[in-house]
Amino acid sequence: MKKIHYLKIHNFKMFGQAVTIELDQPSVLIGPNNSGKTTVIQALSLWHYGLKKWSQEKLNGASVGLNRLEISQVPVSHTRYFWQNLAIREKNKPITMSIAVGVEFQGQVAECTAIFKYSSPEVIYCQPDEKTRQNKALLNYIKDLNIAMLYPISGIITEEPLIQEGRIQVLIGEGKTSEILRNICYQIVETNENDWQSVTYLMKRLFQIDLKKPVYLKARGSIELKYTTPTLKNGLDIAVAGRGQQQMLLFIAYLFLHKETILLLDEPDAHLEILRQRQMLTVLNYLAEKKGNQIIIATHSQVMLENAIDNNLVMLLDGEAINLSKTLPIKNALQNFGIEHYYKAKITQTILYVEGSTDIEMLKAFAELLDHPAKTVLTDKLNYYYVQDTEPVASFEKEIDKVAGYYQDYVQHFYAIKACLPALTGIALFDGDNKGPKNRIKPDLAIVYWKKYELENYFIQPEVIENFVRAYYDKQPLKSAKIKHNMALLKKAINQTILTDILNNDDDAYAAYLKLDKALQKQTFINNAGTKKLSLFLDKVLQKFASLVQQPRLLNKGRYYELIKFMPQQAVDSEVMEKLDLLVKYLKH
């Protein structure tokens, strides 16, 4: 049952500028870590607690003091932590914090605003705004409105004492739900036996277990809660159940205990595999409809996102709230690609497409070697995707690739996200693979190819390989004679592979190559290697060398980028600089 329609927050925790969050039944809040999902449900708790206490004390125009220890659902060590950036005054004037809620009241949506002011490290003041104060009927309705909050379970204690309701709320606010599961179940039995039967039915339906009635053990002052399975009839304590099973029981029991309530649920999908996540959402929606609840969920679950996109899905990002289900381009993009693709692009406003993770490491290494400005965009904040340059594959395989961040239809992907974010720019940088593909450069998306076979071709050279191996041996406790011997074996491995892979077993060309001086040998290698896949060349060199010295390989393919720092700056092809320039152009906002 929809009881509240929206929430407006100003100066509360991370929300400095006023932000409006639309709410429905159910509502799902998503966003990256520290985006404010939990803050939103805490704001609702604080709003309700403040107005409820003000109404109970019938203060008319005065403010009511709220001690931080009373506000169990929003625990803080100092009341300044309620304010955005801890700022409580500006030019000796108090900075007020406001939380407003659009409440379903007498067939209309009535806005009810609570104003908060700082008093001391322990106390804040709260009162309704003038318009709300004049609506006594609305305030009385809000006073009787039920709002409850629940965090996911975090383990479970082996022995749980009987706890009073006030202490239960404190533990919930502190996120210690592991200490109250048995108490919640015990309260259901004490309140309504039929509800307990419904809880046990649902748990048997979901997990094939028979929950026994919780029992208060007077001798120990604790509550016992056991269950049996088809194969274990003696009874197991709930503490030995799987975390997902405990999580499901906690949320189901909590809904039965809080009927006709606005339930603020923080990550109810925690500890649940995909099937259980879908079951959790189904159960929550079913019980909410039956028990007259409105549920507001903060989550990371892709399953819950997919199910909420048609109804009410609010993304929180950088202090902004966007109802994704009401924005058609975003809705279409999310249904195809997933929410994380949208919010990563929202943060960076750019996308880089490459063929694999080693491409990024190689680009970083070149940027470092050349001290190029591309260093500033090739960071851990880079928004990138891997593109498999293969023939189209079955839909199942595409779904697998999608999860891993691989995209074949990268152009479709880019423009689907750009439909949501018009300022988006991107660049796709791929190997040439001797196919001679043409670059396609547009103001918003550049698709460019390396002229040589692959990116590895721009640094895999005999001189660079030798520099790398020599640097490795310089760090080893080996005699100079041994190092000299091994370096000769490396030269042998390189030359043998040049004959077979670069000169195509042309003995005459190889004999001529050996007679050249070092500079001409280098140029001959470059001239003949441009169309070769030099990562395979290096594979063979390192494998032959390992066999000759009878030691493990010095480097695997995923770390070939480590050779780049052993390359002389002046030896870097000018094309590398050109590509790095393009990265800066398209990825720097």
Give the pLDDT band of residue 347 (cuts 50, 70, 90): confident
Please identify which residue in the block is written with the tokens 């009241």.
105
Whether pLDDT at 81 is above 50? yes
pLDDT of residue 53: 92
- The strand pairing partners of 110, in sequence order, are 103
Whether residue 436 contacts residue 430, with contact meaning beta carbons closer than 8 Å, is answered with no
Residue 219 and residue 159 in contact, taking contact as beta carbons nearer than 8 Å: no
C-alpha 260 chain-centroid distance? 33
Residue 130 identity (one-letter amino acid): E
Predicted local distance difference test score (pLDDT) of residue 391: 30
pLDDT at 222: 94
Mark residue 145 as left, alpha or beta (left: phi above 0; alpha: psi -120 to 50; beta: remaining): beta
Q: Contact 385/351 with Cβ under 8 angstroms?
A: yes
Examine the pLDDT at 232 and tell me if it is beyond 80: yes
Q: How confident is the model at residue 340 (pLDDT cuts 50, 70, 90)?
A: confident
Tokens coding 533: 């896949």
Q: How far apart are CA 289 and CA 1, in angstroms?
A: 6
What whole-number percentage of the chain has pLDDT above 70? 94
Closest by Cα among 64, 82, 85, 84 to 73: 82
Q: pLDDT digits over 448-477, tens only?
A: 999 999 999 999 999 999 999 999 988 888
Whether pLDDT at 270 is above 50 = yes
Residues 353-409: tens digit of each pLDDT: 999 889 999 999 999 999 999 999 999 889 999 885 323 334 444 544 444 444 557
Mean pLDDT, to the nearest integer, of 91-114? 93
Residue boundaries of the structural domains of the chain: 1-146+259-326, 157-257, 328-453+579-587, 460-571
Question: Tell me: the pLDDT tens digits for 10-52?
Answer: 999 989 889 999 998 888 888 777 888 889 989 999 999 999 9
Which amino acid is located at 259 in the chain? K
Burial class (CB in 10 A: 0-12, 13-18, 19+), 577: middle
Q: What is the mean pLDDT of the chain?
A: 88
Asked whether the predicted pLDDT for residue 321 surpasses 90, the reply is no
- Average pLDDT over every residue of 79-84: 92
Tokens, residue 59: 């203060």
Whole-prediction pTM value?
0.70
Tens digit of each residue's pLDDT (9 = 90 or more) over 252-263 = 999 999 999 999
Q: Residue 408: CB partners within 8 Å, gap ≥ 6?
A: 387, 388, 390, 392, 393, 398, 401
Average pLDDT over residues 219-225: 93
Looking only at the bridges linking them, the beta strands covering 262-266 and 147-150 are: parallel
**Superfamily covering domain 1-146+259-326:** P-loop containing nucleotide triphosphate hydrolases (3.40.50.300)
Q: Which amino acid is at 16?
A: G
pLDDT digits (tens, 9 = 90+) for 139-153: 999 988 999 888 888
pLDDT score, position 334: 66
Q: How far apart are the first and last CA of the chain?
A: 44
Q: Write the pLDDT tens digit of every residue in 402-447.
A: 444 445 578 888 998 898 889 999 999 999 988 888 999 999 999 9
